[in-house]
Structure 1
């Protein structure tokens, strides 16, 4: 008898037959997983073969359970349903086998809930809850310190971790609710800076010098403006007022005078936005932190405008609260006076007119006056000795007339609130500083700020930062008026009106 095989066909005595094909268990399981969208696992030593007819019968079943029932029929196998979409094949009589137990235990899940607090009883949001045996299983506490994590039976320990607190490990055991108290770890905090183009970077790894001031440090020595708040708190930074009058601009130098005129201001960024404004117009009570970046390398982070350094200001938001609701009210009132007066001359070296005693002003020889005592022509003549020993007709305290007692006040109100998905910060400030120069109103400012963050669904977050500011300034304009007072004659009445009725004539 002779057989010829060709493409799966055989010939015997003129008769044709098909070669019998078989399917491995692994291939059948793959087909079941694809058709019924389930997962099936089994021990590696389980191996069976199936005919195409048997495979067809299995795959014609309506459900995965019916298909698996047909698969294990007459195979000394059984299966166990772990969850809706997961099954395990097990040899009959060996359900207590360690391997089988390991396979089923991996997919037997339970949910653990709980809260995380600090040692003062406050809830801690943002705590990482990680399975020690599998870092891919993790959760995070919400704004109320609550967490939910689902683990399988292979996970024995949970790790609770948060910056500024000691890491804590808790054995799960039979617990389904685990409440944790974390202890502060003040000696294991490494400062992290959020740079302009990179993620969180440890300070020691930065190529630039970064100094940070938070709200707690600002409150230790309250400042009248956001510019003066930097003075004395950061080494190497010089903050000075341009003219000294209320609300006047400030000059901030981080790297010395890098231009001929000494005008080398740093770049100012408020809540991620570059601004071109006077720092005096920003309410210091709304500031959560300053980050001052010094060095020319700051240009690599913020561009060419940052060549003289960068001041990054972050304003307060509701999400930074430890509690869910906070109201803050601050009222401040004070007075200001000229600290010192200079001793000015009360005599002069000029010749007095013969009829000087008949006039309410000092009349000099060689000068022609009108009826109001104003000079028409001529010039004063020195005495022979040129000593300043001649009396003025009247001596006024010009410094006392020019300067007054100034008053300043600040009324501030803020409201902060947060919940699971939304937080907000609202503030209003009314500030007034009259200054110490007579006939001027000084500087007044009204600030309104509204910051909010909200989360919509799982992937969308919306944040807004808004500020409205109205500032009014009524100052002498420059410091020249102060020097003029020092050189004006002491018999001049600064309050005497001009000929046209406008106030304050003096020569």
Structure 2
């Protein structure tokens, strides 16, 4: 019994001594590129296993590895994974590099300048282009209305193609310009209404230049509101920045994508003012043709029948006649008196001329987008046509034709 117990302990000690001789400790420090200190929280694993450790606050680690281990794997969030062979080394130091392929959380802040969204010290609102296009609005700015917090957008007028007033984070001047800076694919774009910078000319409300962009061509739109926006883009960005990125071609393995969209919309005046049908034209209760300063005679008190015109040139109240384009002639009607308030006005007919000025407006918006590419080259060709008729019959139309060609190619590595 004693000999058996002694032999068992000897075998157990020999086995542990053999395993201890086969395992070894590896130490090292994990750093980040262009950084002086260590990288804390990096993961160090034995490849092919779940055994590992993490670096301390100084980036140092210690890991016991078996003799069968051949490679250590170093990884961290936002960094490229590094694999190092163990070989006969007891100290393995590693430098991690930023993973530049993770672009979903990267934003463009200035010409060629990129920053991580969670490290950017400015308030940013991002709107996808498809959300602007599906609003049914004919212009980019009106389609943005209600999509970005802290952004006020007001139409300059109801005319087709009329521009819009955009204001970011409140009024900061009494009579100065508070329009934000617009950047389209890295280039500043003017949003002035015309060369004089006024909103209207010759009684016609002008459109904004930014509305020349077809909403179907927009990939994303970002609104920068903070003071850092002005620091990046200069004094013109003091009122905020609107960064617009247009669509580009993509790698489709040589296939061609064709997208066609057609929209038809109808507009009507929501409510008309009630038509007054109690009194005729005149002054002080008397019918006076052409007088609109006050109320005339009561229409219900007229005798009915045809009106009495003054056709005798020798008459004291004769005022001549008017010849209309169709060749017909119209004479004046005798004005009323205290004894006869209706004068020569006998008809009780009333007329609603609102339909002469207003109509059912409509617009058609057609667009086509052709794109494709491969790993080295891509292209995008788009065309859009907008034809709008307003609710006012005369001089109320807007037409817009937009065409874009975007081609990029990587000739060499």
Specify the TM-score bucket, using the shorter chain as the normaliser. Answer: 0.5 to 0.7
Aligned residues of 1:414 and 1:427 also touching (Cα < 8 A): yes
| Change over 3 Å in CA distance of 1:404–1:322 after alignment to 2 | farther
The answer to which structure, 1 or 2, has the higher relative contact order (CA under 8 A, 6+ apart) is 2
Q: Is residue 433 of structure 1 aligned with residue 388 of structure 2?
A: yes
Which residue of the partner structure matches residue 331 of structure 1? 262
Equivalent residue runs for 1:102-141 within 5 Å: none
What is the CA-CA distance between 1:302 and the residue it aligns to? 0.6
Residue equivalent to 1:254: 168
TM-score, normalised to structure 2, is 0.57
User: What does the per-residue CA deviation read over 1:254-311, in whole Å, with 9 as the maximum and x for residues that have no partner?
Assistant: 1333332475211111111111142222100000000101134421011111111111
Is 1:315 aligned to residue 246 of structure 2?
Answer: yes
Distance 2:337 2:175 in 1: 41
Cα distance in 1 for partners of 2:368, 2:116 equals 35
Shift of the 449–190 alpha-carbon distance from structure 1 to 2, 3 Å rule, reads: closer
**Contact preservation (8 Å) 1:257, 1:263:** no
- In 2, the alpha carbon distance for the partners of 1:220 and 1:409 equals 14
Cα deviation per residue 1:111-148 (whole Å; 9 max; x = unaligned)? xxxxxxxxxxxxxxxxxxxx999xxxxxxxxxxxxxxx
Query: Aligned partners of 1:235, 1:320: CA distance in 2, in Å?
Result: 34
Alignment-derived partner of residue 322 in structure 2: 372
Asked whether the 8 Å contact 1:328–1:415 carries over to 2, the reply is yes
Deviation at 1:369, TM superposition (A): 3.5
Cα distance change on mapping 1:212 and 1:397 into 2, 3 Å: same
2:307 corresponds to 1:352: no
Unaligned runs of 5+ residues in structure 1 are 1-130, 134-152, 173-187, 361-365, 459-507
Deviations along 1:362-416, one digit per CA (max 9) or x if unpaired, are xxxx987431299999xx99989x9xxx998753212211001112101110011
In structure 2, relative to structure 1, the CA distance for the partners of 1:395 and 1:414 (3 Å cut) is same
RMSD: 4.5
| 1:9 corresponds to | none
Is 1:232 aligned to 2:232, yes or no? no
Change (3 A) 1:438 1:203: same
TM normalised by structure 1 equals 0.47
**Secondary structure of the structure 2 residue equivalent to 1:314:** strand
Structure 1 CA distance for aligned equivalents of residues 190 and 155 of structure 2: 17
Is 1:419 the counterpart of 2:374? The answer is yes
Instruction: Tell whether 2:183 aligns with 1:273.
Output: no
Aligned equivalents of 2:350 and 2:212: distance in 1? 42
- Cα distance in 1 between the residues matched to 2:252 and 2:122: 30
